[in-house]
Amino acid sequence: MRNFTSLLFAGGLGFFLLVLAADLPVGAAPMVAGEGILGQGPEAVGAANLVTAVVLAYRGIDTLGELSILFAAAAGVGLILSGMRRRADQRPDPEGGFILLAAADLLFPLLVIVGLYIVLHGHLTPGGGFQGGVILAAAFFLPLLGRPGDSLNHAVVNWVEGLAGGAFVLIGLWALAVKGDFLAPMLGKGALGSLFSAGTLPLLYIAVGLKVGAEIAGLMSTLQETEAAEP
């Protein structure tokens, strides 16, 4: 009976959303605010990648909120799992085989370089702090998959996430002090499309990349250190 009503609900909602399709301009976006950003974005922000201009400049405070959500999730997971750490006398999972271990060692520098490249070129090409940060987190988590006995230094993770997040807010406050607008673009715009352009945007993306990398690596490492033994 319960399943039947649930199915009815889901079916009804599906029908309703599909009917909406007839009335929605899918594929011909209304582009009201979007057009404005496409028009003045390159000039006002100086980023060749206009999505980055939206993420860090026009909607910078959204990004700050988003970073805070990751932070809250990481802090929450740490708090929730704090009593479930593997004890010293419990055996960790067995070590990975040769392929995993070799690949982890081999990939670590490559992943770090790719991650940093993607973070640094966020204002020019697709990518940016979030995408690059996740790659950085993978670089630091991969060795843990191979050697489950090791663990990340959580004090370092806390400091990196704290300082990177703090840097993002401080860059915003700097703009507030100098220009009178929180998170307004600062520094020169530079030549459109060159690495040193778009003012503070690359700096913000470095902070985002470090923070995302630290949060995700910390999250995965906390989950990995948790002993999901039989209750």
Partner 1 sequence: MNFVVLAVALPLLAGFLTPALGRSSRALAQWLGWGTLAVCIGVLWVAWARLDGGTVAIAIGGFRPPLGIVFYLDAVALLFGLAVPLMALLLWPREGTPQQFALTLVLTASATGLALSGDIFNLYVFYELTAAASFGLIAGRGTGAAQGAALRYLLLSAAGSVLLLAGITIVYLRTGTLNLAHLATLAPERLQDPVGLAAFALMLIGLGVKGELFPVNGWVPEVYGSVSGRLAGLLAGLVSKLAVLVVVRILVLIFPQPEAAQLMLVLGMLGIVAGELAAWRARDLRRQFAFSSIGQLGIVFVAFSVPGEAGIVAGLAVALHHLLVKPALFLLAERWGGSIEGLRGAGRGHWLASGLFILFALSLVGLPPLPGFWAKLLTVMGLMGLGTGLAWLGALTVMAATVVEAAYLFRTLSVLLAREAGYTSPGPHRGLDLVTASLAGLVLVGSVFALHPLGDGLKAMAAQAADVQGYIRTVLGDRAVARRGQREDRISEAHPASRGSDRPMGRADRAYGWPAGSPTRGARS
Partner 2 sequence: MTLPPLEIVLYTGAVSLLIIGLAGLVMGDNLVRLVLALAVAEAGVNLLLVLSGFRQGAFAPILLEGRVPGPMVDPIPQALVLTAIVIGVGVQALALALVLRVRRAYGTVEMRTLRARLHEDLDAAAGLPPETSRNAPAVERPA
Nearer Cβ to partner 2, position 130 or 200? 130
- 231 vs 32, 84, 148, CA distance in Å? 55, 11, 21
Given a contact cutoff of 8 angstroms between Cβ atoms, the answer to whether 139 and 111 are in contact is: yes
The type of residue at 94 is P
**Longest CA pairwise span in the chain (Å):** 65
Identify which of residues 75 and 203 has a Cβ nearer to partner 1 in the complex. Answer: 75
- From first CA to last CA, the distance across the chain in angstroms is 32
- Does residue 116 touch partner 2 according to CB under 8 A? no
61 binds, among partner 1, partner 2, none (CB under 5 to 8 A by kind): partner 1
Q: Which does 228 bind (CB under 5 to 8 A by kind): partner 2, partner 1, none?
A: partner 2
Q: What's the per-residue H, E or C state across 63-94?
A: HHHHHHHHHHHHHHHHHHCHHHECCCCCCCCC
Q: Which one among 1, 23, 31, 162 touches partner 2, defined by CB under 8 A?
A: 31
Closest approach, Cβ 50 to partner 1, in A, equals 12
Provide the 3-class DSSP secondary structure of residue 226.
strand
Contact partner, 6, from partner 2, partner 1, none, Cβ < 5-8 Å per class:
partner 2
Number of residues that bind partner 2 (CB under 8 A): 62
125 binds partner 2 per the rule CB under 8 A: yes
Burial 185-224 (b: 16+ CB within 10 A, else e): bbeebbeeeeeebbbbbbbbbbbbbbbbbbbbbbbbbbeb
In Å, what is the CA distance from 64 to each residue of 30, 185, 212? 27, 15, 12
Nearer to partner 1, 101 or 186 (CB): 186
Using CB under 8 A as the criterion, which residues of the chain lie in contact with partner 1 when the complex forms? 16-17, 20, 23-26, 28-40, 44, 57-62, 64-66, 68-69, 71-73, 75-80, 82-83, 155, 158-159, 161-163, 165-166, 169-170, 172-173, 175-176, 179-185
Token pair for 109: 């520098």
In the complex, least distance from residue 74 CB atom to partner 2, rounded to whole angstroms: 8
Task: List residues near partner 2 by CB under 8 A.
Answer: 3, 6-7, 9-11, 13-14, 17-18, 21, 24, 26-29, 31, 33-35, 37-38, 41-42, 48-51, 53-55, 58-59, 62-63, 65-66, 69-70, 72-74, 76-77, 80-81, 84, 124-126, 130, 191-193, 212, 216, 219, 222-223, 226, 228, 231
